[in-house]
Chains A and B, each alone.
Chain A
Amino acid sequence: MNNERPPALETHDLTVTYDKRPVLYGIDVAVPEGSLVGIVGPNGAGKSTLIKAVMGVVPSSGGWVKFFGKPLKENLHRVGYMPQRESVDWDFPVTVMDVALMGTYGGLGLFRRPGKDEKRRASEALEKVAMLPYANRQIGNLSGGQQQRVFLARALAQDSDLYLMDEPFVGVDAATEAAIVTLLKEMRERGKTVLVVHHDLQSASEYFDRLLLLNMRLVAFGKVEDVYTQELLQKTYGGRLTILSEVADQAAKL
């Protein structure tokens, strides 16, 4: 028997195509439990797509994904997801509390209503991101940073062991950015695994302890000190692999 704990997230040959055009090629990665991972790469590298494919939000065309050694379906309750802020309509008639509560719905199935326990979890999550005073506000009346905090609270309310966050630092003020970083580190202290899509290479090396360098395929994954090298960054950001890109275009026309 292998008594090593399975990785928090493991993908094998994960491939995603949009309209027949491959955007992610055979991603193999095993993220150990308790790591704080930044997913970095140039625009169009497929960073968000990777997270969405892992979550099953966009269909993958090949490969498999395991969470804590099991397929997503069996371990969904251990996975929290935070989509991009731009993915929703902020004029939607819900309050900050309503959104945070949505994080607890996963454990309720389709029919059960949220009870005291769920409301407590939602309040605690809002408290952690300093948004509890705004609980009864409609979400459209918030600033960009506050909206991002609400999304974060919703993910926290999921009370998971692994979190996937899509660009949580986009459009936030310095105070919110610092608050999110503190929160991420605190989550790591408690043994949580967090994967964060991040657009700024500079801060990525400070915020995370592992980096996943991505450009349509996995360039490197490892501890910051190992992969934050001139050579690997050059490989990630030094333009697309022309042939890969061209073949992808050809494949799309088939």
Chain B
Amino acid sequence: MSEVASILDLLVPASGAGKAIMAAVLLGAGCGLLGCFVVLRRVALMGDAVSHAVLPGVVAGLIYSPERNPLLIFLFAATAGLLGVGLVRMMVVSTRLKSDTALGVVLATFFAFGIMWQTRNQQDTVGVMNFMFGNVGSIDASDLRMMLMTTLLLVVTVYILRRPFLVMSFDEGFSRGLGYPVGLLNGVFYFLLTFSVVVALQAVGVVLVSAMLITPEAAAYLLTDRFGKMLALSVIFGVLSGVTGGLVSAGVNGLPTGPVITLAATLVFAVIYLVAPQHGVLAKALRTSKRRMRVRRENMLKAIYQIHESEGFAHEEVSVLMLARKRGQTEEIVKKECRALQGRGLIGMADDGVSIHLSRSGWKRAMELVRNHRLWELYLTNEADYADDHVHEDAERIEHILGPGIVRQLERDLDFPQLDPHGKPIPKPTHLIPGEHLAV
């Protein structure tokens, strides 16, 4: 035991700032690992309940251990937390209450009891504010040793059990079918959850500790589709916000550590919420607007084709005025959109900007779109028994997303049709007819 203690002593830094940073790192790592499962299992509220439920334990620890023995406080707090979890389980199993309601009842009761007890024993519980709102500065060497051991236990257990935990979080029924002792694993999970809350307690405080189990993990979840990466990222985000928050609150007078760490985590989350490449809101908005612009461009190409078609492909050019009339838009807007088409080499524009003509690639794309539209209309009327006046709207949307594979299949299924349900010819872009002579 003494050897372990001396090894731990070697790891604990001497300076105050060093201690604060190490506490933040431990907190970020422990919560980051476990929080991934909390988020994926949708038991985020459970973390909140546990954190509030530990308060009576902390108060008991402070009262019964005047010398503030961290092990004793830890044990009291963990017991209170587990008692809370147990009560929630009991209420859910024995009544028709759902877990969120049971959590609400237990959380409030434990917290109220803790506060009441603390106010009755103010002189014995001077340090309680450190546990309420967190204070990295209050963490001394013996606290840190305690945190170090618990975090180590937590990290090792999660690492060993990560596969069963993963399967259980994804599909509990299947994990029973695999023969996993689901009840036992759930027990271990809530033990670890309580431990991680208690570890983070002195740094972040009762009220905000659950943020460390949720916010960095939520950010990681938005950033990746791989579980291993999610674990790594949430540990990184947790450590990052812990260290930043710890340093800021230590440097600026009168700033409580817990809220600063929480807001640092929120900042990380906010940035990722905005800029995450796949699931971020900016990326989504960008994708939507790109798609809209493409649809607008393609509709313009189609309109040009239809004008040509209505003239029996007699002219090489289409006037912007006609196009504006066809599209129901002003000439300015049509000109602007045509310039965008010109930039992509799909059309050529006369110098005076009055008329335009399709380029070879413009012809091809326009014919493809018209073909897609008419094929789809035909498919809906022939194969899906739609009335022929019901199909246009749907085809307007589908024409932009039909890929070559589906087009080939449609053509096969419809026996290479010549005309659409309204009697208009279905163009064949492979032949570039009738636009051949118009090619630039």
Contacts and interface: CB of A to CB of B under 8 A. Distances in A.
Contacts of B227: 93-94, 98
B167 A56 contact: no
B308 to A, nearest CB: 38
A140 B171 CA distance: 15
B174 A102 contact: yes
B167 A105 contact: yes
A93 B177 CA distance: 22
Contact of B225 (A52, A55, A76, A138): A138
A102 B225 contact: no
Contacts of B167: 102, 105
A102 B170 CA distance: 10
Contacts of A83: 171, 173-174, 177
Contacts of B177: 55-57, 76, 79-81, 83, 106
A93 B226 contact: yes
27 contacts: A52-B173, A55-B176, A56-B176, A57-B177, A73-B179, A76-B178, A81-B177, A83-B171, A83-B177, A89-B40, A92-B40, A92-B170, A93-B40, A93-B221, A93-B224, A93-B225, A93-B226, A93-B227, A93-B230, A99-B170, A102-B167, A106-B179, A110-B160, A110-B180, A111-B161, A140-B225, A154-B174
A57 B169 CA distance: 15
Contacts of A108: 163
Contacts of A94: 166, 170, 226-227
B431 interface: no
Interface in A111-152: 111, 113-114, 138, 140
B127 interface: no
A154 B167 CA distance: 12
A245 B163 CA distance: 42
B433 to A, nearest CB: 35
Interface string B158-201: 00110110110111011011111100000000000000000000
A19 interface: yes
Nearest to A90: B170
Interface residues of B, number: 26
Given A87-B171, A105-B163, A106-B177, 6 more contacts: A83-B174, A92-B40, A102-B167, A106-B178, A110-B180, A138-B226
Nearest to B227: A93
Contacts of B221: 93
A95 interface: yes
A88 B180 contact: no
By secondary structure, the A interface counts as mixed
A87 B225 contact: no
A19 B160 contact: no
A105 B181 CA distance: 13
A231 B180 CA distance: 43
The 8 closest A-B pairs by CB, nearest first: A81-B177, A138-B225, A106-B178, A57-B173, A76-B179, A83-B173, A88-B171, A93-B227
Interface string B83-96: 00000000000001
Contacts of B226: 93-95, 138
Helix, strand, loop or mixed for chain B's interface?
helix
Contacts of A56: 176-177
Contacts, number: 75
A14 B225 CA distance: 41
B181 to A, nearest CB: 8
Contacts of A138: 225-226
Nearest to A137: B225
Interface string B38-54: 00100000000000000
Contacts of A76: 177-179
Contacts of B161: 110-111
Contacts of A81: 173-174, 177
A57 B176 contact: yes
B163 A19 contact: no
A57 B180 CA distance: 11
B379 to A, nearest CB: 15
Contacts of A52: 173
A130 to B, nearest CB: 15
Nearest to B171: A88
Interface string A20-47: 0000000000000000000000000000
Contacts of A87: 171, 173
The CB with the most chain A CB atoms within 10 A, among B164, B224, B225, is that of B225
B176 A113 contact: no
A50 B10 CA distance: 59
A106 to B, nearest CB: 4
B230 A113 contact: no
Contacts of A89: 40, 170
Contacts of A114: 163
A183 B263 CA distance: 54
Nearest to A73: B179
Contacts of B176: 55-57
A41 B181 CA distance: 32
A57 B230 CA distance: 29
A108 B176 CA distance: 14
A80 B178 CA distance: 8
A195 B224 CA distance: 37
A57 B171 CA distance: 11
From A89, A95, A113, residue with most partner B Cβ within 10 Å: A89
Interface in A166-199: none
A166 to B, nearest CB: 9
A94 B171 CA distance: 12
Interface in A58-92: 73, 76-77, 79-81, 83, 87-89, 92
B170 to A, nearest CB: 5
A110 B174 CA distance: 14
Contacts of B40: 89, 92-93
Nearest to A94: B227
Contacts of B180: 110
Contacts of A73: 179
Contacts of A77: 179
A80 B179 CA distance: 11
Contacts of A99: 170
A6 to B, nearest CB: 20
